[in-house]
Chains A and B, each alone.
Chain A
Amino acid sequence: MKPILQVKHLSASFGESLAVRDVSLDFYPNTVTAIIGPSGCGKSTFIRCLNRLHEEVPQASADGSVVLNGKNIYGPGVDPVQLRRKIGIVFQKPNPFPSFSIFDNVAMGLKLAGIKKKYLLYEYVEKSLNQAALWDEVKDKLNAPGLSLSGGQQQRLCIARALAVEPEVLLMDEPTSALDPISTARIEELISVLKKNVTVVIVTHNMQQAARISDFTAFFLLGEMVEEGETSKIFTAPREPRTERYITGRFG
């Protein structure tokens, strides 16, 4: 299988401090890759480098290359805003646009992409809300504020918003850590359906979640990638003693 996204010798810093150290990792189409590791290991910084969000932080810098379908996203002439349509992101805390309706939350990205026709917008919004498994719950109140939804629904709204512009890769930074178990289960279920259309990279603190939903797992520690491989292998017989200690809860 040919990778859709290839990270080569990626390092990322905040000023003088190196947060990600020389990581190379391939992501394959229609798979879910989980990034696991203790707090401060660089996993969030790493995925923020994958759609150039990291550089938005003052003094932050990244080195190395991230190749999407053969093209380096850090190459000259790449517009980060355009790039983020191809590589979307969902964050830990649901963050719908506060004053926007449910409809406009999803339609915003489409409008920015130049889609103006109302019927087209409606079509895309319905499709995205369906993909995010939220349509049935909100179809009768599309004009209600996004913030009127429950936490789990808000997170699915953010997923619908990311999906609306039809990204190739969806990055998820601990997307369920602020949600109750039922909402978490819905999002996990959703991820396994979504991978038919997009490639998912998910950062998670919850190892059972990584084990349940991902095809591949990468373990990060102190900014380095210690080990990566098939999820079933990593959680039953990891190669590295450091991975073993982390996933069996014996760190420290």
Chain B
Amino acid sequence: MSERHFDVSLRELKDKLLVMGGYVERAIEYATQALIEFHPEKLKLVYDIEAQVNRLHKEIDEGCVNLLALQQPMAADLRLIVAVLKISTDLERMGDHAVNIADNSGRYLNGPPLKPLIDLPKMATEVRAMVRMSLDAFVQRAETLAREVLVREDLVDSLKNKIFKDVLEYIKSNTKDIEQGLSLILIARNLERVGDHSTNIAEDVIYALTGEDIRHSPRGDGLKEVLKS
């Protein structure tokens, strides 16, 4: 059977979503590299990318609404379109968080570094891996990979908590550095949110593939499993 018009439109939509995902990955990469490797010049790239992400967000949503209205998709097709619609919203929010990270990195880099950053680079690496894995799970239609993203959320949360605690302790005794400390806290907070959106994407991928809605259900002790492996 020749490829249906519907399948062609759906593939174009998926391709667009991947381009958007690629942009978001780069935005997060530049925003965190700027901070960790002292490359403030990379911050501008984050803002340029965000405009592209916003444009694709609207284009993808429009494509989804058109397919829903004109083709009345069912079953796996319907689940896929619903997933694309939600993933594009998650990616757009991730783009916003990348901009927040860039803003705060810029502020932090205005002064001398407070102390060597240890957990923040670790957290950035972990979050970027989550983003990458959730998008790979979507492309490869890989349920196992999507489930792996979910268990990594705990690790990111614990890194964020540790950064909050360390920075708080530091600025309590170094009050002149409150502003820079706050920037680090906000960066950790935004990275954590990026991780949360990756988790949403993974959940949407699982829904699209299996029809199972696993949101808001207990995950077991994911952190222990990841640390063990």
Contact = CB atoms under 8 A, between A and B. Distances in A.
B204 to A, nearest CB: 14
B4 A236 contact: no
Interface residues of A, number: 14
Contacts of A238: 75
B79 A248 contact: no
B1 A247 contact: no
A234 to B, nearest CB: 8
Contacts of B4: 249-250
A82 interface: no
A235 to B, nearest CB: 5
Given A249-B4, A252-B1, A235 B76 contact: no
Contacts, number: 32
Interface in A222-252: 235-238, 243-244, 247-250, 252
B78 A235 contact: yes
Contacts of A249: 4, 6
Interface string B38-79: 000000000000000000000000000000000011111111
A248 B81 CA distance: 13
Given A249-B4, A252-B1, A237 B72 contact: no
A244 B75 contact: yes
B76 A244 contact: yes
A167 B1 CA distance: 45
Interface string B212-227: 1000000000000000
A249 B5 CA distance: 12
A248 B211 CA distance: 15
Contacts of A235: 74-75, 78
Nearest to A252: B1
A248 B77 contact: yes
Given A236-B79, A236-B211, A237-B79, A248 B74 contact: yes
Contact of A247 (B75, B210, B212): B75
Interface in B1-22: 1, 4, 6
Contacts of A208: 72
Interface in B71-113: 72-79
A204 to B, nearest CB: 14
A247 B1 CA distance: 16
Nearest to B72: A208
Contacts of B210: 237
Nearest to A251: B1
A248 B76 contact: yes
A250 B2 CA distance: 11
A18 interface: no
Interface in B106-138: none
B8 to A, nearest CB: 14
Contacts of B212: 237
B209 to A, nearest CB: 10
Nearest to B213: A237
Given A249-B4, A252-B1, A236 B78 contact: yes
Contacts of B6: 249
A207 interface: yes
Nearest to A233: B211
A247 B74 contact: yes
B75 A236 contact: yes
B49 to A, nearest CB: 35
A243 B211 CA distance: 14
A250 B211 CA distance: 18
B211 A237 contact: yes
8 contacts: A236-B74, A236-B75, A236-B78, A237-B211, A244-B75, A248-B76, A249-B4, A250-B4
Given A207-B74, A236-B78, A237-B79, 18 more contacts: A208-B72, A235-B74, A235-B78, A236-B74, A236-B75, A236-B79, A236-B211, A237-B210, A237-B211, A237-B212, A243-B75, A247-B75, A248-B74, A248-B75, A248-B76, A249-B4, A249-B6, A250-B1
